[in-house]
């Protein structure tokens, strides 16, 4: 009987306090959203840019990363890397997970587009 009471107390303790330690929903990474960095790597006409999309969270993959992309032309890059979904909405890497602290990069030749993250989700356990 004492064993059952101890087990019940231990279970209650675990369930009561597990919410304090499990952030869920990407709270662990709230301040570490993905970033987009562009670097000019070609100076011809048109110029060439290297784009790096980085997951800055050290703990969780980021998924379904969308960027504001203006009138970016799909013909400039493979849709597996950056897919134009709508005007000013592109999805990175098909929405697939980008592991913690990893980058996805691609290049395009055109005048510079403004690219910035607009929405994403973290896939934390």
What average pLDDT does range 50-61 have in this prediction? 97
CATH 1.10.287 assigned to domain 25-122? The reply is: no
Other beta carbons less than 10 A from residue 120's beta carbon: 22
Which residue spans within 4-115 are E strands per DSSP?
Answer: 35-42, 48-54, 62-68, 82-86, 89-92, 103-109
Q: What letter would DSSP give residue 98?
A: B
CA dist 73 and 110 (Å) reads 9
Q: What's the confidence (pLDDT) of residue 2?
A: 56
Determine what percent of the chain is predicted with pLDDT higher than 90.
74
Helix (H) or strand (E) holding 122: strand 116-122
Mean of pLDDT values over 79-86? 98
Q: If you average pLDDT over residues 95-105, what whole number do you get?
A: 98
Mean pLDDT in residue range 68-74: 98
């Amino acid at each position: 009987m004492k064993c059952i009471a101890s087990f019940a107390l231990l279970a209650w303790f675990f369930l009561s306090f597990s919410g304090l330690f499990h952030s869920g929903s990407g709270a662990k990474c709230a301040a570490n959203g993905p970033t987009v960095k562009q670097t000019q790597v070609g100076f011809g006409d048109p110029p060439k840019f290297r784009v790096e999309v980085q997951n800055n969270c050290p703990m969780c993959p980021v998924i379904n990363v969308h960027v504001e992309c203006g009138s970016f032309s799909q013909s400039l890059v493979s849709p597996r890397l950056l897919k134009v979904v709508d005007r000013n909405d592109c999805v990175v890497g098909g929405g697939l997970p980008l592991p913690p602290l990893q980058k996805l990069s691609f290049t395009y030749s055109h005048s510079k587009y403004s690219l910035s993250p607009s929405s994403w989700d973290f896939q934390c356990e």
